[in-house]
Chain A
Amino acid sequence: MVETGHFALVLAFALSLVQMIVPLFGARLNNQRLMAVGGPVAVTGFALTALSFVALASAYASSDFSVASVWENSHSLQPLIYKITGTWGNHEGSMLLWVLILTFFGALVAAFGANLPATLRANVLAVQGAIGAAFFLFILATSNPFLRLNPAPIEGRDLNPVLQDLGLAVHPPLLYLGYVGFSICFSFSVAALIEGRIDASWARWVRPWTLVAWMFLTGGIAMGSYWAYYELGWGGFWFWDPVENASFMPWLAGTALLHSAIVMEKRSALKIWTLLLAILTFSLSLLGTFLVRSGVLTSVHAFATDPTRGIFILCILTLFIGGSLALFALRSSRLTAGGLFHPISREGALVLNNLFLTTATATVLVGTLYPLAVEAFSADKISVGAPFFNLTFGPLMVPLLVMVPFGPLLAWKRGDVFAAAQRLMVAFAAALLAMLVTALFIDGASVFAALGVGLAVWLILGALTDLAVKSGFGNVAAGIGVRRLLGLPRSVFGTAFAHLGLGLTTLGIVGTLCFGTEKILSMHPGETVELSGHTLRFVGLYPAQGPNYSEDRGRFELIGVSGSAIGEISSAKRFYPVRQMTTTESGIKTLWFSQLYLSLGDQGKDGSVVVRLWWKPLVTLIWGGGLVMMAGAAMSLMDRRLRVGAPSRRRGQASAVTSAGLP
């Protein structure tokens, strides 16, 4: 089984070479047969990669320590679920997952691309094949997960305990679905450059892919942030760590792409820019992969690193980014510009959005790479942390967030800011009220806190206003309004939900940063502590034994007003003997949208233990907002406008296929 997987992987590499070259020639020679090779090869390549992945996963599940990567990252005593998730909890396996998703998306284009012009489809598959070939080669040359050990060791070295967690089991696949999803946008862009023309169906294909990728990337980032929050025990949800930035930059660029693709689809404007943005977004995804795998930057959550891998990925990076940008420089002048528009219009608002988002991406990029540059040109080592990003990223985001509610209310081509402002009066008044209430009635609220709350309320109500205006509430009877609301295109809901989610996340961040409190103290069993109106009693430390660890669990009771316990929180120090590692399991109690967060420190000699306690108001909204954003993307995807039939006599049939097929 293991060797079958290995062989399937090698075979998939061979097919990716074919996929890279044959359809490309086909499109050049306008040869139908050569172009037709792309589809079946892409699907078969995916099937083989999937076989290979299943083989590896089953080696992990059955603790086959004759496979080197299983031996290094698994242990027979791990619970089965972590044995399986361990498949992608390490460098080799996660790269295999990466190409699995890449080939999966390639197969989707092949299977449901019947409505694409044949040459475009062939070129897209060829570019997709080229990316695949590069990464298959990378895996086979530097990180082969199927290398064997003979004789096989009897016991593995265990998966890193911090990775033995459900959050981290879900996080990488989501993140890769996002990263790799942008590869499709990239392939479409490069294909358009190769052809020297952008078809009308181009934007219709790129937009859903951007939506899919963006949706998963949003989920992946939110999941990763939540994981870091509860697993690392520091109580922070974002560290501006290079690895986090690596996923955040494609997200920012992808958000810009999402918006510019709307303009392109609706108005055929911003074509060249959208194309460039698609290339940049995927380039940032590749850069993220490079930063995470090469270890050039210090990070809290990097993989075990190896310089040869870094150099290899750097070559891939240079090849694809350099190649596509060179192609862009050569060919972009052949692309025709699109429709005109007034600066104050929906298009204008979206351009502004792009300007802010790409600038924000650039500041994050500078902050992330600056230490590398400094190190390369001088002996100094520096680190760029939260203070830098707060000073640069913050000022860029605030005006953008203020403008968000205006965008959807402006008309295409030529809009009326005053009309839009009038419609937003209610939201504006409510935001102002929220600011005043915060400033006057909440103790210790700073000006920033009040502004932050106001901004969040503005965003949330602005999003709802958009829905209300479009369904005509206020002008028509409530019943008709509801009917019209339900009849609105899904994409309108998508926009509103995405912006609503953004508002919720903002509210969560403001609430946690401005109103959160924390305490560090040393406690004896029986002692109580009060934090922001919540009383906790330390019950004591209890040793316990897990399947592959032992732990000291500190139990705490939440005391209600009456003095009796109304809930329990427990935090633990776990010891994993195989790796001789200690981890902290934080204790979290969710009260509405807020959380009480607790983590154990060292034990004193006198039976006391250091406890760090946080009260984090509205913290769950940070990730809840992310989920709402994902829901928005999902709704947009279901919009019927994104389904285009193929031009043929079998039109009914074909459009049925595509409507079912588009993700």
Chain B
Amino acid sequence: MTRKQKRLSVIAGGLAFLGAATGLTFYALGQKASYFYMPADLTTASLQPGQRIRLGGLVEKGSVERGQGATVAFSVTDNQKDVKVSYTGILPDLFREGQGVITEGSFDAHGVFVADSVLAKHDENYMPKDVADRLKAEGVWEESKSE
């Protein structure tokens, strides 16, 4: 190989590598990004059981039930619809009824949302941004509920 050919092959190799990395990235984005839903969206969106999504809203007042061991069931609501969520594990310290949460997981065959993570940020006025935006848009939630 001449020097020029060598250089070309190195450049081609580099480009092929970048191409592969780009392809992988977009494939992964398509597969692994989880969409954010509010309970009211779920009627319009058709979801397969097992598809990972993020579900956000307010923890419905009076809906939290402690089950066997560390399993907790509660409802997430946007005041239009509510969704039953089951979660096994330790809830974040700021998980409270009437407060905003984001849960991540998927629906099981019975239509119960099985969450493997429940998020609530460490901030006294916390409302997850995704949830706050949507609730504001729907007029459910007003700024600064705290006293």
**Complex A–B touching at CB under 8 A:** yes
Contact with A along B121-133 (1 / 0, CB 8 A): 1111000111001
Total contacting residues, chain A, CB less than 8 A: 52
A233 to B88, alpha carbons, bound, how many Å?
Answer: 15
Enumerate A281-310 residues with CB–CB distance to B below 8 Å. Answer: 295, 297-302, 304
- With A391-B24, A610-B69 known as contacts, the answer to whether A383 contacts B33 (CB < 8 A) is yes
The answer to the question of B42 belonging to the interface, with a C-beta cut-off of 8 Å to chain A, is no
Contact with B along A358-384 (1 / 0, CB 8 A): 010011001100110010000011111
The answer to the question of A580 belonging to the interface, with a C-beta cut-off of 8 Å to chain B, is yes
A395 to B94, alpha carbons, bound, how many Å?
Answer: 36
Q: Are A304 and B69 in contact (CB under 8 A)?
A: no
Q: Which residue of chain A has its CB nearest to the CB of B64?
A: A602
Q: Across the interface, which residues of B come within 8 angstroms of A367, CB to CB?
A: 25, 29
A239 to B88, alpha carbons, bound, how many Å?
Answer: 19
A53 to B39, alpha carbons, bound, how many Å?
Answer: 48
A343 to B24, alpha carbons, bound, how many Å?
Answer: 26
Q: Are B18 and A359 in contact (CB under 8 A)?
A: yes
Contact with A along B12-34 (1 / 0, CB 8 A): 00100110010011011101111
Contact of B21 among A300, A396, A522 (CB under 8 A): A396
Q: Are A601 and B91 in contact (CB under 8 A)?
A: yes
Q: Across the interface, which residues of A come within 8 angstroms of B140, CB to CB?
A: none
Q: Which residue of chain B has its CB nearest to the CB of A365?
A: B25
Contact with B along A59-85 (1 / 0, CB 8 A): 000000000000000000000000000
- With A363-B25, A391-B24, A602-B91 known as contacts, the answer to whether A384 contacts B33 (CB < 8 A) is yes
Q: Are B104 and A385 in contact (CB under 8 A)?
A: yes
The answer to the question of A612 belonging to the interface, with a C-beta cut-off of 8 Å to chain B, is yes
Q: Are B90 and A521 in contact (CB under 8 A)?
A: no
The answer to the question of A40 belonging to the interface, with a C-beta cut-off of 8 Å to chain B, is no
The answer to the question of B119 belonging to the interface, with a C-beta cut-off of 8 Å to chain A, is yes
Q: Across the interface, which residues of B come within 8 angstroms of A298, CB to CB?
A: 102, 128-130
Q: Across the interface, which residues of B come within 8 angstroms of A583, CB to CB?
A: 93, 122
Q: Are A604 and B29 in contact (CB under 8 A)?
A: no
Q: Across the interface, which residues of B come within 8 angstroms of A522, CB to CB?
A: 69-70
Contact with A along B113-124 (1 / 0, CB 8 A): 000000101111
Q: A367-B25, A370-B29, A383-B36 are in contact. List 17 more A-B contacts (CB 8 A).
A: A232-B122, A300-B122, A301-B122, A302-B121, A304-B123, A362-B21, A370-B33, A381-B133, A384-B34, A388-B32, A388-B33, A391-B28, A521-B69, A601-B90, A602-B90, A610-B69, A610-B90
| Interface CB pairs A-B, < 8 A, 19 | A299-B121, A300-B122, A302-B121, A343-B6, A355-B14, A362-B25, A367-B29, A370-B29, A381-B35, A383-B54, A384-B29, A388-B28, A388-B32, A392-B25, A396-B21, A520-B70, A579-B124, A583-B122, A612-B70
Q: Considering the complex of A and B, which 9 residue pairs feature the smallest CB-CB distances, nearest first?
A: A381-B36, A601-B90, A387-B32, A388-B32, A520-B70, A391-B28, A582-B93, A610-B70, A382-B33
* Residues of B near any A CB (own CB < 8 A): 6, 10, 14, 17-18, 21, 24-25, 27-29, 31-36, 52, 54, 66, 69-70, 88-91, 93-94, 102, 104, 119, 121-124, 128-130, 133
* Residues of A near any B CB (own CB < 8 A): 160-162, 232-233, 295, 297-302, 304, 343, 355, 359, 362-363, 366-367, 370-371, 374, 380-385, 387-388, 391-392, 395-396, 520-522, 573, 579-584, 599-602, 604, 610, 612
